[in-house]
Chain A
Amino acid sequence: MHHIYCPYCEETREEEEYSYTGEAHIERPKDPASITDEAWGDYLFFRSNPRGIHHEMWFHAAGCRRYFNATRDTHSYQIHETYKMGELPTITAKTIAADTLAAQQGDAS
């Protein structure tokens, strides 16, 4: 059971209040009629589905009923951050890799 912080309600609530709505930061093509079938199919169906850091949308269905984004590890299930729509994540697979590397170098010195 996840405990998820809603950036709009500013409260941590149980997973059952929310619905998951898939990968975040997928932009709808501006002019669907002018793109190829490949590009449209990629937009509709193809996903990155990583084992690790994943940016994803959640919907606070039983709360404020607003969409927001979360950065979650799909393997450890740790939620690193939640952020409002339109914002960019501050934690990504790259920043975590850099942090891990820095920590290892810190240990070594």
Chain B
Amino acid sequence: MKKYSGFSLFKHSLSHHENWQAAWRSPQPKKQYDVIIVGGGGHGLATAYYLAKVHGITNVAVLEKGYLGGGNTARNTTIVRSNYLWDEASKLYDHSLDLWKDLSQDLNYNVMFSQRGVLNLGHNLQDMRDIERRVNANRLNGIDGVVLNTAEVKEIVPVINDSQDIRYPVLGASWQATGGVARHDAVAWGFARGADSFGVDLIQQCEVTDIVTEEGAIVGVQTTQGFIGANKVACVTAGNSGVMAAMVGLRLPIESRPLQALVSEPVKPIIDTVVMSNAVHAYVSQSDKGDLVIGAGTDSYNGYGQRGSFHVVEHTLSAICELFPMFSRVRMNRAWGGVVDTCPDACPIVSKTSIKGLYFNCGWGTGGFKATPGSGHVFAHTLAHDEAHPLAAPFSLDRFNTGHLIDEHGAAGVAH
């Protein structure tokens, strides 16, 4: 892999940027791998990268049915934060946030991580009490956070409607200054390029149609490009985890639902932070291009359609227009849906299964993007040692039988 640098940019400008090395190879699948990762999104590629980099396991293939980073990695609203309530979740997400800070240098790829701060608004007394509790819990866990009142929110976001006469007045917010946004495509591409440089095979247009087991152990996968053998298979197929599990007769505590987002036409800089509101199901930030990036809620019912209900978008936009009356005449450019795995406790599953050599990393629900590096890092450890990383251990599949759930419905961005 040729390193990207200011000098290489200058050098290639002399040949009109026509001779850049491809960011990754497009190899034919081998007959047998140590580890097959199903799903070439951010989490899958991050897992492959850390498997190779940290654990030295490079005989790895990432199988992707479409193109790299074309699923939920390309469909989210790019928010990164770690202000979760419970110890287990906050440690996992904060581990991820730590990795985000050096990710561009580590990958030699600019993921445009911008720590512009994240506001979570409170609209009634109970919201504010929950925010106080969550911020205190965060600070005990070493995660930065402060509770702001209406005037302090207004100072950070001057365009917000601070009237107390509206249906959902802004009474205050939690503020995590180290939160922010990153460029989602670049995250997938950076991890892909990094993994490829260690010799990981990234195989696109290769859909897994069956998982093959013998005597309760993994032997490989059937794909649209034929059978590929493997000692370990790791499913990182957000949205389709239930479909993968059904191939080996497993059931998961997951329901797949569409989550929607939309972007406006580009406008001049108006919001330089991230504003989220659980109560009214709306969040907004502004991309470097100037688009307002808006996230809506999930549909109430299971669906694999990658499109959501219109009334969900309507609900979100009415909340956005109340919070930001000046946005009422901004035109929306595009709207889309992604299929998210929702778990009963709004926390992910990073786990071994009852089948030897089969692992699942799923259930990130509506907020998996922020966890991309951390998820890959701890899951790689789980795969390499056949034993959960200490940070991933609480997120095992058996918590739904032991009852040790980690209820993060309050801190998840979108209720589900």
Interface residues in A12-69 by Cβ distance below 8 A to B read 15-16, 19-20, 22, 37-38, 40-42, 44-51, 54, 56
Find the A residue at minimum CB distance from B401.
A41
Chain A positions within 8 Å of B78 at CB level: none
Would B251 and A1 count as touching, CB distance under 8 A?
A: no
Using known A-B contacts A44-B400, A46-B253, A47-B255, determine if residue A74 contacts B303 with beta carbons closer than 8 Å: yes
CA gap between A37 and B252 in the complex, in Å: 16
Interface of B is mostly: loop
CA gap between A40 and B305 in the complex, in Å: 31
Using known A-B contacts A20-B300, A37-B402, determine if residue A49 contacts B305 with beta carbons closer than 8 Å: no
Stretch of B82-90, B112-120, B196-204, B240-248 with 4 or more beta carbons under 8 angstroms from chain A = B240-248
Find the B residue at minimum CB distance from A46.
B251
Q: Does B20 contact A (CB under 8 A)?
A: no
CA gap between A15 and B299 in the complex, in Å: 11
Q: Does B6 contact A (CB under 8 A)?
A: no
Quote the shortest CB–CB distance from A94 to chain B (angstroms): 15
Would B304 and A42 count as touching, CB distance under 8 A?
A: no
Using known A-B contacts A48-B246, A54-B302, determine if residue A41 contacts B400 with beta carbons closer than 8 Å: yes
B246-263 vs A, Cβ < 8 Å mask (1 yes, 0 no): 100001111110000000
- Tell which of B242, B304, B344 touches A75, judged by Cβ atoms closer than 8 Å: B304
Chain B positions within 8 Å of A46 at CB level: 251-253, 400
Q: Does B7 contact A (CB under 8 A)?
A: no
Would B400 and A51 count as touching, CB distance under 8 A?
A: no
Quote the shortest CB–CB distance from A19 to chain B (angstroms): 6
Chain A positions within 8 Å of B344 at CB level: 44-45
Quote the shortest CB–CB distance from A46 to chain B (angstroms): 4
Number of residues on chain B facing chain A (CB within 8 A): 24
Chain B positions within 8 Å of A75 at CB level: 303-305
Would B310 and A56 count as touching, CB distance under 8 A?
A: no
Interface of A is mostly: mixed
Q: Does B311 contact A (CB under 8 A)?
A: yes
Q: Does B309 contact A (CB under 8 A)?
A: yes
Using known A-B contacts A48-B246, A50-B246, determine if residue A19 contacts B304 with beta carbons closer than 8 Å: no
Would B255 and A49 count as touching, CB distance under 8 A?
A: yes
Would B311 and A49 count as touching, CB distance under 8 A?
A: no
Would B401 and A37 count as touching, CB distance under 8 A?
A: yes
Would A15 and B252 count as touching, CB distance under 8 A?
A: no
- Tell which of A15, A37, A47 touches B253, judged by Cβ atoms closer than 8 Å: A47
Would A51 and B311 count as touching, CB distance under 8 A?
A: no
Nearest 4 Cβ contacts at the A-B interface = A49-B242, A41-B401, A45-B253, A20-B301
For the complex with contacts A47-B251, A74-B302, 20 further pairs of A-B residues with Cβ separation under 8 Å are A1-B309, A1-B310, A20-B301, A38-B401, A41-B253, A42-B401, A45-B344, A47-B252, A48-B246, A49-B242, A49-B251, A49-B252, A49-B302, A50-B246, A51-B240, A51-B242, A51-B243, A74-B304, A74-B305, A77-B303
